[in-house]
Amino acid sequence: MEDRRSAATCLQTAGMLFGVFDGHAGAACAQAVSERLLHYIAVSLMSRQTLEEIELAVESMKPIRPILQWHRHPNDVEYREITSQYFENLRVYWQHLLDLDTEPGFSLEEAMVCAFKRLDSDISLEVQAPQENELMRNIALQVAFSGATACVAHVDGVHLHVANTGDCRAVLGVHEEDGTWSTLPLTRDHNAYDEFEIRRLKREHPRSEEQTLFVNDRLLGILMPSRAFGDVQLKWSKELQHSVLENSCDIEALNIYQYVPPNYYTPPYLTAEPEVTYHKLRSKDKFLVIASDGLWEMLSNEKVVKLVAGHLTELNVQNPQLTFKKPVNLGYMHNLLLQRKSRGLGSLDRNIATHLIRHAIGGNECGEVDPERLAAMLTLPEDLARMYRDDITVTVVLFNSDTIESHYRGEE
């Protein structure tokens, strides 16, 4: 599993953050970004006074006030607290903000763009810097030479900002006055299918490279997303790549990463700079779905919104959960799902994100979950599963309509 996710409340500013991170070439970059990016965004939003208080506490070797309150699910991948090195680099970032001549308080859009770009820069610099030990060196190599796309939403009252780098996607579910449901996409997929991305990359590189920028719908014939964290082999010069790898004592790393793409003339070809979308929530905006591309490859925006809307209606009926035991095998999963179907619980998952994933991998042509197909897909060996589906990670954010309506009543 190369995906990661994060959710947290900003304790020094208003708002909550939700992120989905789709890793590739390993999970190292997605793991690092999931641990660090929300900190960078939170710091970017702080006032000069708050940053000065935190810096003074660190200088005095006193405990600092927490920046984030993390929200975790029992099934989340094990979370590692931010390491001392990562904290020091975060501190360097807020010191940089304090050195600015103006008040550091960015707008939300500026804060998210700056945080994305700064973290990606730190990931690049960390692997170039001397490391205390070989383990840290290897981790830095894995983070920098693997990659991750990211989609992060910041919610503060009725103010919703979504920052996206790559091909994760955020879609709003809207309940119209006539009772129907509509979708409002808040992101664009940054890949070879997007005309804006194609034009952007052509502007940034010579005309002589037009035919080689995208080969087989992949950037330089290698990477599907055209924006991502890490992936320094698509950002650094050939000389820098060789220098960093030659200074590594890890022979295996040399074998894995010592590869320069064809037609590699004018790097960087990849950026982590996000596009940020602002949307002022209305009472008819009921939920936000953020997911890695594994979900959207299986289900359309409209189907996802329809499934969530239907699930919210069905949740009013309380039914007991079915027990789930391990180890899992095909026969057990088949019987369990048939039992679920016979009891009328085909769609009543307690977790809405689980509900979407079940339909994504077990859905048939009629839009229903086929228990036999789902059982087969869930029990595929790891080496075969990737032939049928990508990793899928989903976060569903439900909005409180009463709170939104009270905001507008207060403006009248």
- Most confident range (mean pLDDT) of 258-262, 301-305, 382-386 is 301-305
What is the rounded average pLDDT of the residues 238-266? 73
Please check the confidence at residue 320 and state whether its pLDDT lies above 80.
no
Exposure b/e, 250-268, CB count within 10 A at least 16 = b: eeebeebbeeebeebeebe
> 58-63: long-range contacts (C-beta < 8 A, 24 or more apart)?
58/91
- The whole-model pTM stands at 0.86
Q: How many residues does the chain have?
A: 412
pLDDT of 148 higher than 70: yes
In the chain, where the domains are located: 3-180+187-277, 181-186+282-411
Please tell me what DSSP assigns to residue 77. Answer: P
Cα distance between residue 317 and residue 313, in whole Å: 8
Q: For residue range 195-205, what is the model confidence (pLDDT) as tens digits?
A: 999 999 999 99
Q: Do β-strands 169-175 and 181-185 pair in parallel, antiparallel, or remain unpaired?
A: antiparallel
Cα angle 37, 38, 41 (rounded to 5 degrees) comes to: 90
Q: Which CATH class is domain 3-180+187-277?
A: alpha beta
| Average pLDDT of every residue of the chain | 85
Whether the pLDDT of residue 147 is over 70: the answer is yes
Residue 109 has pLDDT above 70, yes or no: yes
99 band by pLDDT with thresholds 50, 70 and 90: confident
Instruction: For residue range 42-91, list pLDDT tens digits in order.
Output: 999 998 889 889 999 999 988 888 899 999 877 666 555 566 678 889 99
Pick the residue with more confidence: 104 or 31? 31
Average pLDDT over residues 124-151: 88
Give the model's pLDDT for residue 80: 55
